Structure 1
Amino acid sequence: MNLTPDALVAALCGAGAVIGVLVAAVALIGTTAPAAARPKGPLARRLNAAGSADGTGPLSMWANNRLLLASALVIGLLVWLFTSWLLGGLLAAAAVAGMPWILQPGRGSKAQIQRLEALEEWVRRLSDIHTAGVSLEQAVSSSVRSAPKTIAPEVTRLTARLASGWRAAEAYRAFADELNDASADSVAALLIMHVQDRGAGLSTALKGLAAQLSEEVLMRRKVEAEREKPRTNMRWVSLFCLFVFGVSMLSGSYVEPYSTATGQLLLLVFAVCFVAVLVWMRRMALAKPAPRFLAAADQPSGEDA
C-alpha cells in the first residue's frame, strides 16, 4: 500500500472527527452514571441486567474498561490507516473491544453465583438480627452495616426505599428486580408475606431459606464446573480465528481481492457469520436461568403496607 500525504491527512481528519464525536458524547451524557432506578418494563429490566451495578453485564464490563475502549479505537484507526479499509478498522476495533466477552464467557454466571452466595449470607444475618425482637424493617436497616460487599448497594437502596416512604411490599419487589434472580424472588416473596400477616416464625423461615440458598449455590457451582470445558474450547477457537484474520491482513496479495466493494461486502458477511457462531457457542456454554415469578415493582407511593 502506498501511503500518500493526502491519505495520511484524510486518516488524521477522520480520527479527529471520531474523537470529537466521543468528546461531545461525554460532554452531553457525562461520565458518572445516575443512581440505579427501578426497571419499568421487560426491555428496561434486560438492559439493567446487561449493565448491572456490579460490573458483570456486557454494558458495565465495557463501560468500566475505558482503557480497553481507547485501545480499540487506536488499533482501529491504525488498521484503517495502513490498509485503507474503513471496514477493516471497524472490525479490528470491535474485536479488541469484545475481548472480555470472548475471553470470559462464563463471567456473568460466576458473578451471579457470587451474588447468590452473598444473598444467602445476608438472609442468614437478617434472621439473627430479627431474632433479637426487632421488626423486619429495623432488621433490614441494621443489616446494612454487615451486608456482603457484593449486594451491599442493593441492600442500601432497599433500606433507603423503606425509609423514604415506599410501600414495604414494593420495596422488596424492587430489591428482587435489581438482583434479577429467581432465588432473590424467593427471598422477596417471604418478606412480602411477612409484611402482609406479621406472623411469628420469620427468623426460622429465613434460616430455612438460607439453607436452601446454600444448597443452590453448591449445585450451580457444579454446573459451572461442567460447562467450563466448552467455554475453554470456545475461547481457543475464537482466539485462533482472530489470529488468522490478523495475520491475513498483513499479507497484501492474499487480501487484495477484499479491497473492492464486493470484497468489503463479503468481509462484512464473514464477520457477521463469525459473530453469529460465537453467540451460538456462547449460548451453548451458558446455563439458562430459572424464570422469575415475582412481577416488577409498581410506582412507589407514600403509604406503608
Structure 2
Amino acid sequence: MVVMVLTVPLAAVLGAATAFGLLLVTWGLLSHDDSGPVDSVMQSWWSRLAATRGPVDRRRVALCLAVGVVVGVVTRWPVAAGLAAAGAWMLPAIIGPDRDHARRVARIEAIATWTEALRDNLSGAAGLEQAITASAIESPEPIREEVTRLAVRLQRSWRLPDALRGFADELADPTADLVVAGLVMAARGSAGQLGDVLGELAASARAKVASRQRVAAARKRNRTSARVIVGATLAMAGMLALLNRGYLAPFDTPTGQLVLLAAGGCFALAFAWLGRLMRDRDASRVLAGAAAPDESRAVPT
C-alpha cells in the first residue's frame, strides 16, 4: 500500500518533468523573440547550435511532439513519451533513405561536366570570361542556376575574381572551390596550363564520385542493420503490449521508469554514434567564408 502511495506522486513528478522538458525544447526551437532576458550562456549555445544545424523544421518538431504524446497516452509512461519524441527526431536520419547522397553526387558530377566544358571552350574563346559565358548555355541541370547567374554577372561587367567567389559561395561545395580557386588564379594572370589544370580537376571530381558511391554502399549496410534492430525492438515491445501487458507491469513503477530511461539512453548513445559514422565529413572548403555577391563590386560601364 505504501508503495502504491509513493508510486503515484513519483509518476506524476516524472510526467510533469517530461512535459516541462518537452515544452522547453519546443520553446527553444520555435522562439525567435530575443527581447526577453535570456541567459547569455544559453543564448550563445543556442546560436552555435542553430548555426551548425541550420533552420528548424517546425512540422518535424510538431510530428515528434505528437509521437511523444501518443506514446505517453498509450503507455502512460512519461519516459517512453520522451524517448519516442527523441527517437522520432533522430531515427529518420539514421534508418531512413539517404536522400542527400544522390543530390551531392549529382552536383559533383555536374561540376566535373561543367569543368570539362569550360576547358573545351577555352580553345575557341577570346578569354576566360567568354568561355564561362559560353559554358552557361548547356550547363548541367544541378548547377545550371548558379552558372547562369555567374554568366549574367560577367555580362554586367562584374570583376571576374569577385564573380567567381560569389559563384563558389552559392555552390558551397569543396569540389567547386578547387575549380574556382584555379579560375581565380587564372584571372589574376596565372593562366598557364589552365586547360590541363581543369582537366585534372574534372578527373578528380569524378574520382570523388566513385569514392562516394563506395562509402554510400558501406553506409547502406549500416542503415540496414539499424533498421533491423529498431524494427525488432519495436515489434517485440508492441507484441508484449498487446498480448502480455502484465509482462511490462514493472515499468509502471518509478524504478521501472528509471530502468527504461537507462535502456533508452544506451540506445540513444548507440544511434548517436552510428549517426556520427554516417555523417558526411567531406565538408572542408578551400574558399570558406567567401563574400556573397554585391552589386557594388560591378565595374561601371
TM over 0.5: yes
TM-superposed deviation, 1:220: 3.0
TM-superposed deviation, 1:187: 0.9
TM-superposition CA deviations, 1:29-48 (whole Å, max 9, x none): xxxxxxxxxxxxxx69973x
Picking from 263, 275, 282, the partner of 1:289 is: 282
TM superposition score normalised by structure 2: 0.64
TM-superposition CA deviations, 1:132-151 (whole Å, max 9, x none): 31543454445445333323
TM-superposed deviation, 1:124: 2.0
Q: Which amino acid aligns with 1:297?
A: A
The 5 A counterparts of 1:59-208 are 63=57, 66=59, 72-104=64-96, 106-156=98-148, 158=150, 168-197=160-189, 199=191, 201-208=193-200
Distance 1:208 1:274, change over 3 A: same
Unaligned runs of 5+ in 1: 1-13, 29-42, 52-58
Q: CA RMSD in A?
A: 4.5
TM-superposed deviation, 1:247: 4.2
Which residue is equivalent to 2:38? none
Distance 1:158 1:296, change over 3 A: farther
TM-superposition CA deviations, 1:46-67 (whole Å, max 9, x none): 73xx55xxxxxxx7xx84x95x
SS of 2:125 mapped into structure 1: coil
Which residue is equivalent to 1:56? none
% of aligned pairs identical? 34
Distance 1:277 1:157, change over 3 A: farther
TM-superposition CA deviations, 1:254-288 (whole Å, max 9, x none): 33343444544443343232122012223345564
Is 1:254 matched with 2:247?
yes
Which residue is equivalent to 2:266? 273
Distance 1:182 1:254, change over 3 A: same
Aligned length: 264
SS of 1:293 mapped into structure 2: coil
Give, in whole Å, the separation in 2 of the partners of 1:290 and 1:171: 22
Structure of larger gyration radius: 2
SS of 1:82 mapped into structure 2: helix
SS of 2:276 mapped into structure 1: helix
Is 1:244 matched with 2:232?
no
